[in-house]
Amino acid sequence: MSLDASAPQPSAAVVFFERRELDQLLRLYGRRVAAGEWRDYAIDGLRDAAVFSVFRRTAETAAYRIEKRPSLARRQGAWAVIGQGGVVLRRGHDLAQVLKIFDKGRFAVVE
């Protein structure tokens, strides 16, 4: 068997959100948009993680990243909320529990 460099190579598996996870993320996003706090979002599917980034304004860095890293599922939990500067605000095994950090009264955003 010869290996042909021009032959299409199988793409590496990409981590992405399941439908129910994406539903939870978009419901949270909708509530925050209605409150005037968030304005834009981005979704990235990478080899080792799926990332949902939210922005206060369109042309700035992400205010928060919600990451799904299956490789950490048995250790710290596959889910993490990461703030600006890469600070991990919350990590866990269940998306709904991790997203509770955004509930009213949990913390205040200071600009």
Number of domains present in the structure of the chain: 1
Is residue 108 situated within a structural domain?
Answer: no
pLDDT tens digits along 40-49: 999 999 999 9
Q: Tell me the pTM.
A: 0.79
The phi and psi torsions of 60 (rounded to 5 degrees) equal -145, 175
Q: What residues in the chain have per-residue pLDDT under 70?
A: 1-12, 59, 104-111
pLDDT at 1: 44
Is residue 2 situated within a structural domain?
Answer: no
Is residue 67 situated within a structural domain?
Answer: yes
Residue 95: give the domain boundaries. 19-102
Is residue 28 situated within a structural domain?
Answer: yes
Please report, rounded to a whole number, the percentage of residues in the chain having pLDDT higher than 90: 61
Of 12, 8, 38, 36, nearest to 25 by C-alpha is 38
Is residue 111 situated within a structural domain?
Answer: no
